[in-house]
Structure 1
Amino acid sequence: MRLWTSDEIAAATGGTASEEFEVSGVTFDSREVGPGDLFLALSGEATDGHRFLDQAFASGAAGAVVHSHTPHPHVMVRDTMAALNALGTASRGRMEGVVIGVTGSAGKTGTKEALFAALDRGEPGYAHRSVKSYNNHTGVPLSLARMPRNTRYGVFEMGMNHEGELALLTRLVRPHIAIVTTIAPAHMGFFKDESAIADAKGEIFQGLECGGTAIIPFDSPHRDRLIEAARPYAAKIVTFGLGEGADVRAIETMRTKLGGTFVTARLGARELSFTISQPGAHWVSNSMAILAAVVAAGADLELAGLALAELGGLTGRGARFLVPVPGGEALVIDEAYNANPASMRVTLEVLGHEQAARKIAVLGEMRELGEHSEAFHAELSGPIEAAGLDYLILVGELMEPLANALEGHVDFVHVPDATAARDHLLDMLGPGDAVLIKGSNGVRLSNVVAALAERAPA
């Protein structure tokens, strides 16, 4: 399917096309180039995309955006990063459907994926979303530039770790609906307190289109702060959650045999019963945000409920698989993508509900917590003991306060890095065990997951 022509790219970016061509995809990573793609040769501190033009075209690129000469089909611009933003802006400008922005300290990627599934279930092939965690100054315009011409629903994740970043992204996305999933002490090293994080997340409302809807967590201690941030920009404010008084509320929940939750939700005068396949109270709460967005977008609510029942686990964010071990199998819960105190607590609770011979957690240090880091790590001892865990592998120097807090209470080992964690886990994992793997992305616990996945049956 034609995504962009060379003339359209030139018009959007103010560049000059060397010849006529059409592209069906867009990327700035030469390793991801496929047949028919447009390759944006970005210049960064570490490397220059122009060095990989031959590789990109060998992989099937149909054209490139460049700022220096190449013999390949291209659009010449003055600044390729500015061209990426311009292409994203042009894509948003031609989109005639509903655009939804999602942010939060935790749960934004899962909510984005689940919302996409809910909208796609109603109109297959007409929903689009940002892939992976493409939520920053390069990922957001790339996700916009990739949006097909006939998209009816666009769902975009937006992240930040400094004040002002989200304000720039949301003005690029210009959502009709803006969701804040939760506020938690993520990136605390860059903010004076959690209220400052709430203010930074509230920047998402600044990009709302006229008549837009703000969707806000009712149960958050920062609810009123977020409502005040939304008032100047939102025509409608909708709260979601578990507490009485939320506009979209889970009024009954029941854990299913497969680990998910059967939910009855109230949306004004309307009720909907559905199953959310993912385990944990945080997923119940986030599903209320999803339903609120589906209603605001005018999409099919019943089909959205079916999509939530069918939702599979996400790599690094709750995916589950069985691995063979001597004498049987063990369950792996992959939460290795990232971690903050709030997401640690909810996933430890999920592990605590598992029926297993042993409940094991491989926990990597939580980074970017600033002066509060020691306290946040030590405070994980409470959720760990409440979950009734049998064994822990603590990974990284920052886990020392937690190790001290757990001494004499829970069996654990403290190792320096992911390699040591992998080796220790592979030696001790037994039949019937359930193991949770979670930590900040920089700890690279995904390598531990990969080592286990290699053993899983195809």
Structure 2
Amino acid sequence: MSTPLWNSAEAVAATGGTTPCDWTATGVSIDTRTLKPGDLFVALKAARDGHDFVKQALDSGAAAALVSHVPEGVDDSAPLLIVKDVQAGLEALGEAARARTRARIVAVTGSVGKTSTKEMLRTVLGAQGRVHAAEKSYNNHWGVPLTLARMPRDVDFAVIEIGMNHPGEIAPLARLTRPHVALVTIVAPAHLAAFDSVEGIAREKAAIFDGLEPYGTAIFNGDLPISPILREKADAGRRFAVSFGEKACNQYRLYRVTVRDACTVAVGRAGVETRLFKVLAPGRHFAVNAMGALAVADALGLDPALAVMALGQWQPGAGRGQREKIALDPVDGRISVDLIDDAYNANPASLAAALEVLAAAEPRNGIGRVSRGRRIAYLGDMKELGRSEVALHRVIAQNPALDRIDVVHCIGPLMQHLWRDLPTEKRGHWTETADKMAERVGRDLDAGDVVLAKGSLSMGVGRVVDAIRKLRQSTPDLEG
């Protein structure tokens, strides 16, 4: 039986709401499609009003529902937690969960790498205690309180990802989270449609330090043009400031990186101590963020040797640089394509990092229709870049990683500007949609190729990834 997470008395005390009966919830859900029996269903208003799904949630075994009124078709005696405002009620549950825990809390933000770093920290901290973190990128005004409200009572650590699309979003979420350690990964051109400059983005990201507990630790990337903005905020108040990166000024300095075909090996310095580590993913940016993760572990007083060993087990998740082999022949394992699935999101900094990974990858020769294996990229539009969006797409053609990339296929009206600027020999296909590009992958790819898929989520580049995966041939059952 699942451990109780909330009972009706605790939930009423936290939210100031009312309920007609006693109940106990073992989880919290905002979606009837993923709801589990025993969950407290939260009827948020988003694209649709969650009150329309309360009856379905209760019929599916929800322990209770957090609502602002009795929904149509639901009896007054049903297990309802009635509050003035559902969003505020969810935030109150998150605040109460944070208040009752003894866990050490880490908050993570950044334009690039916050989700992968959150997952690194899940792995690193999980080697030395029980960790709570969101399974997905629940990092907005409802995602952060939901993650807190779902936090079990007896965890040792929690890792909370905090994101933003507009000014003023991060500080209230950081104050709700009250982290002991807060980490900023990279600040880069992203969400420029809502900000005047990268400096404005940096000030918003640095607001995560406003929520730190007294004498907490503010950790930030010290390699960036805007790092002084992060440092100024990190130094303010009763907190410890720690920088990481590749420059000599950083307390946690990465000074040697070897990007291999399937992993990255790095040497860094933490104060006066040398740290040799690896991650199971190619990419200098992963090594840089790993230094930040090691700084978090040290700030929490954890065993550094166990932290390094745990890092060696981490690899990125689907859509965030995950590497997989797509077998094109059911018998001969050599007849395959290597896929780098980085299709979840994109901005100029993350795209540059992904192109560097592709450029370092090693295709295999002499096994396909084309005698030489190729490095191939499928790139979709980068969104929310404001007035500079065209220039930021065109400048990709000057990225030095393209020297080692053979073909670039482009998806979307913004990427068409890159496509036109590419050298003729590297210019692949341009299509307006990912669906059109997905129709071509069987003709475009060959055994031995290494393929990168990258683009903003709304471009649907994941459909190109799905099409590549459908090229996979199952291994036959040779027994019997």
TM-score range, shorter chain: over 0.9
Q: Is 1:266 aligned with 2:269? A: yes
1:393, CA displacement in angstroms? 1.4
Q: 1:231 deviation in Å?
A: 2.2
Count of residue pairs brought into register by the alignment: 454
Letter of the 1:277 partner, please give it: L
1:300 alignment counterpart = 303
Corresponding position of 1:368: 384
Cα deviation, residue 54, structure 1: 2.7
Contact 1:262 1:275 in 2 (8 A): yes
Check conservation: 2:278, 2:312, Cα contact below 8 A. yes
- Whether 2:118 is the aligned partner of 1:112: answer yes
Deviation string, structure 1 residues 372-426 (Cα, Å, up to 9, x no partner): 0111000111226534211121000111221121142513111010101111113
From 399, 402, 413, the equivalent of 2:418 is: 402
Indicate the larger mover: 360-369 or 230-239: 230-239
Matched residue SS, 1:162: coil
Q: Aligned partners of 2:404, 2:356: CA distance in 1, in Å?
A: 9
Aligned pair partner of 1:341 in 343, 348, 352: 348
Is the CA contact 1:208–1:234 (under 8 Å) kept in the aligned structure 2? no
Residue-by-residue CA offset, 1:220-274 (whole Å, 9 max, x unaligned) = 1111111112222352100101121210112333344x53122222111222222
Between structure 1 and structure 2, the one with the greater Rg is 2
Q: How does 1:305-344 map to 2 (within 5 A)?
A: 305-325=308-328, 328-344=335-351
The answer for the alignment partner of 1:429 in structure 2 is 445
Aligned pairs (5 A) from 1:233-252: 233-252=237-256
Q: 1:448 aligns with which of 464, 468, 473?
A: 464
Task: Identify the match of residue 91 of structure 2 among 74, 80, 85.
Answer: 85
Q: What is the TM-score normalised by the length of structure 2? A: 0.91
Q: Structure 1 unaligned runs (5+)? A: none
Equivalent-residue separation in structure 1 for 2:400 and 2:410 (angstroms): 12
Asked if 1:94 is matched to 2:100, the reply is yes
Greater shift, 335-344 or 385-394, is seen at: 385-394
Contact residue 353 and residue 387 of structure 1 kept, 8 A: no
Contact 1:339 1:440 (C-alpha < 8 Å) held by counterparts: yes
Q: Distance in 2 between matches of 1:397 and 1:253?
A: 36
> Superposition RMSD on alpha carbons, in Å?
1.6
C-alpha contact (below 8 Å) 2:66/2:83 kept by paired residues: yes
1:136-155 equivalences under 5 Å are 136-155=140-159
Structure 1 pair 454–12 and aligned structure 2 pair: CA distance change class (3 A): farther
The residue that corresponds to 1:134 in the other structure is: 138
Instruction: State the match for 2:160 in structure 1.
Output: 156
Partners of 1:384 and 1:439 in 2: CA distance: 19
Superposition deviation, residue 455 in structure 1? 4.6
Partner of 1:271, secondary structure, is: strand
Contact 1:362 1:437 in 2 (8 A): yes
What is the TM-score normalised by the length of structure 1? 0.95
> Which residues in structure 2 correspond to 1:376-415 (within 5 Å)?
376-383=392-399, 386-415=402-431
Q: Please tell me whether residue 417 in structure 1 is matched to residue 433 in structure 2.
A: yes
Richer in helix (by share): 1
CA contact (8 A) 1:3 1:23 kept: yes
Q: Which runs of 5+ in 2 are unaligned?
A: 364-372, 476-480
In 2: Cα distance, 1:288 partner to 1:282 partner: 10
The alignment partner of 1:16 has SS state of coil
Which one of the candidate residues 240, 254, 271 is aligned to 2:258?
A: 254
Alignment partner of 1:122: what SS? coil
State the partner residue of 1:66.
67
One-letter amino acid of the structure 2 residue matched with residue 212 of structure 1: G
DSSP 3-state at the match of 1:254: strand
> What do the CA deviations read for 1:157-197 (whole angstroms, capped 9, x no partner)?
11112111111211111111111101100111211111111
> How has the CA–CA distance of structure 1 residues 54 and 94 changed in structure 2, closer, same or farther, with 3 Å as cutoff?
same
2:19 counterpart residue number: 17
Between the aligned partners of 1:206 and 1:114, the Cα distance in structure 2 is 24
Q: Quote the residue 2:192 is aligned against.
A: 188
Secondary structure class of the residue paired with 2:33: helix
**2:56 aligned partner, one-letter code:** Q
| Identical aligned residues as a percent | 40
Aligned residue for 1:262, secondary structure, equals strand
1: CA distance between counterparts of 2:238 and 2:123? 25
